[in-house]
Amino acid sequence: MSLPNELLEFILIYLSSYDMIESFYGLNKRLNFLINQFPYKIDVAKKKKGWLKKSLSLFEPLITNIKFNHSQLQILFPTKSTILNQYPYLKSITWNYRFASNPNNHLSESYLNIFKTKCKSLILNLDTDDINDDYMTLNHNIALLLLFQNDSIIEKLILKDISDLSILWFSFKPSILKINEYLKELTIKLHYIHDLFILIEYLPKLEYLNVEVCELDKNDKYDYKNIQNKKNKLSSSLKYLIIDSLDFSYDRLLLFTEPFQKSLQYLTLNMSVDEQINGKILESTIHSQIPNLKEFKFIFQISSYKQNIDINNDLDKLISTFHSTSYWSDHPVMCYHDRSIPCFTIVSLPWILKETDTITDEILCYRTNLTIPLQINNIKSIYLASTPITLKFLKFIKETFPKLNQMIISWHTCSVDSEIFQRRNRIILNTIKTLKYYGSTDDLEYIDFLLLTPNIRCLIVDGTTIHVINSYIHENQQIALICEQISDLNIFREYEYCDEDETKETFPNALISSNEI
């Protein structure tokens, strides 16, 4: 206590919110004052019921941000009427919202009605394993309660789909919607493209929009051009726009962005289109039309279903359009062909690659407007599927993605060239720490792939593969040594196919789990 406040604050910033409160709060007024200066964020999603009942009262008056599971709702907030008194500083909620067909869903909606008048930020991690009428009703009600009512003070809303089925798409009709003057940031998945046009009409203060759109309604009768007549009613503050869609035409995209050309500063697009897109078109329709644009990131997948295409010639023509103007000299681009879709893909660099996006050896024939060798430092994980794994491909991966630490391989769709295991040719992927195998395999070449990742610490595989490894280590000492250094082993299915004692002997230093992926 002889230390000045400035030094005490340096100590407190290294403590978690739990430790700070449990160790120092209540000892004296000075410490209480210092602790109250810190935003108090707490995650109780993994806390047991006994801890919540015993310890939560210590924290309630200080909590500014809280994350919890759906099952904990009534323990944390036993009476809706006392929420304001229990949590006087509460401003942000992250709710792991598990949908099930039961009467509690109506209770959940009543809590949402309170939270939307109390909090500035709300994140709903939405999960379900079933679609039925109850789910669709709840889905619709959430949208109405949080988006299109004029009594909500929420400024930041994230509706995140964490379900395995990826089916949580929102859709709504404009007849009962009201304008929301508070919402500034929104992340959402929409069912139809016309839902996006409806959405933007009722959120005039929106500054940030991150939207994934599922599809175009086959019976769509929405008048898209009507948006031009409503420019004065739309947000003049929209600065950040992120659109991810496989069914959004480029013409419709331009129609949507037109009212926001003066305000947009950051634009990110991940789209699959039938129209022919190139550098000249992007510059004339995006860059030159949005004068305040500071950052433009994109992935365009352009369909290539026509017969007898000349891939190399078409790639040369495509990349030439990104050499033609001064704008593209400062904005690197890469393009390549993917036979599995099939399509030509154009990406701005650095590449925004999702963990679920696959790449094949066709990327070896990429084109770029760069004058230096391609190197992408932001990508930490790649997913190989429907491709031969060759020496040339591995060399490209190592040189192009120097910060790579995770590799996912779909063995039932990939093939391995035996040349990659020859000592004189071997490419060592020494940055890989996590290796994830999809598909069962008893092919020893796939097990030998571990030899190319000598620094692996996390292995995610199925039980059949582990069974093969357990037998194989007795004849391959190098594989045995690599298995010994693994600290995290997740057998995500067919756990019963491998002997538990043998597995512990093969992976003596690993924490073994069986979590689904």
Question: Mind listing the pLDDT tens digit for each residue in 267-308?
Answer: 999 999 888 899 999 999 999 999 999 999 999 999 886 767
* Displacement of CA 342 from its chain's centroid (Å): 24
Name the pLDDT band for 347 (thresholds 50, 70, 90): very high
> Do the domain assignments include residue 505?
no
pLDDT of residue 382 exceeding 70, the answer is yes
Cβ neighbours for 225, distance < 8 A, ≥ 6 positions apart = 255
Pairwise CA distance, residues 222 & 226, whole Å: 9
Residue 299 and residue 193 share a domain:
yes
Residues 172 and 308 occupy one common structural domain: yes
- Give the SS3 label for residue 67: strand
pLDDT confidence of 25, banded at 50, 70, 90?
confident
**What tokens does 20 get?**
């700070």
Residue 412 domain-assigned (yes or no): no
Residue 319 resides in a domain:
yes
Residues 292 and 148 in one domain: yes
Alpha-carbon span 499 to 487, nearest angstrom: 19
Mean pLDDT over 22-48 rounds to: 83
Range of the domain at 51: 5-89
| Domain finish residue from 347, 366, 398 | 347
pLDDT tens per residue, range 138-175: 666 777 778 888 889 999 999 988 765 566 788 877 77
Do 78 and 151 lie in a common domain?
Answer: no
Q: What is the SS3 assignment for 508?
A: coil
Do residue 13 and residue 62 come from a single domain? yes
Distances (CA, A) of 71 to 46, 48, 100, 427: 11, 11, 11, 49
pLDDT for the residue numbered 151: 87
Dihedral angle sign, alpha carbons of residues 508, 510, 514, 517: negative
Q: CB of 214 within 8 A of CB of 185?
A: no
User: Is residue 238 packed enough to be buried (19+ CB in 10 Å), middle (13-18) or exposed (0-12)?
Assistant: buried
Which of 68, 89, 110 terminates a domain? The answer is 89
Q: Which of 142, 127, 1 is nearest to 69 (CA)?
A: 127
Kindly give the pairing relationship between strand 333-338 and strand 434-438. Answer: unpaired
pLDDT(334) > 90: yes
Residue 74 in domain: yes
Query: Do 138 and 51 share a structural domain?
Result: no
33 with 123, same domain: the answer is no
Instruction: Mark whether 164 and 265 lie in a shared domain.
Output: yes
453 occurs within a structural domain:
no
Residues 319 and 266 in one domain: yes
Alpha-carbon radius of gyration of the chain: 27
The structure's pTM equals: 0.86
Q: Which two tokens stand for residue 376?
A: 């992408």
Element (H, E) at 146: helix 133-146
State how far the Cα of 277 lies from the Cα of 497, in Å rounded to an integer.
50
CB contact at 8 A, 361 and 349: no
Torsion angle defined by CA atoms of residues 75, 81, 86 and 92, in that order, rounded to the nearest 10 degrees: 80
> Considering 293, 320, 347, which residue would you say is the last residue of a domain?
347
The verdict on residue 80 lying in a domain is: yes
Q: Are residues 136 and 268 in the same domain?
A: yes
Burial class (CB in 10 A: 0-12, 13-18, 19+), 229: exposed
Sorted by sequence, the CB contacts under 8 Å of residue 85 that are 6+ apart come out as none
Residue 406 lies in a domain: no
Structural domains in the chain (count): 2
Number of H helices, E strands in the chain: 18, 22
Question: Running DSSP on this structure, what letter comes out for residue 45?
Answer: T
Residue 138's pLDDT is 61
Q: What is the pLDDT of residue 354?
A: 86
Share of the chain above pLDDT 70, in %: 94
**Does 61 share its domain with 158?**
no
pLDDT of residue 49: 86
Per the domain annotation, does 112 fall within a domain? no
Scored b (16 or more CB within 10 A) or e, 257-268 reads bebbeebbeebb
Q: For residue 464, give every residue at least 6 positions away whose Cβ sits within 8 Å of its Cβ, in sequence order, or none.
A: 440, 441, 442, 494, 497, 498
Q: Are residues 46 and 141 in the same domain?
A: no
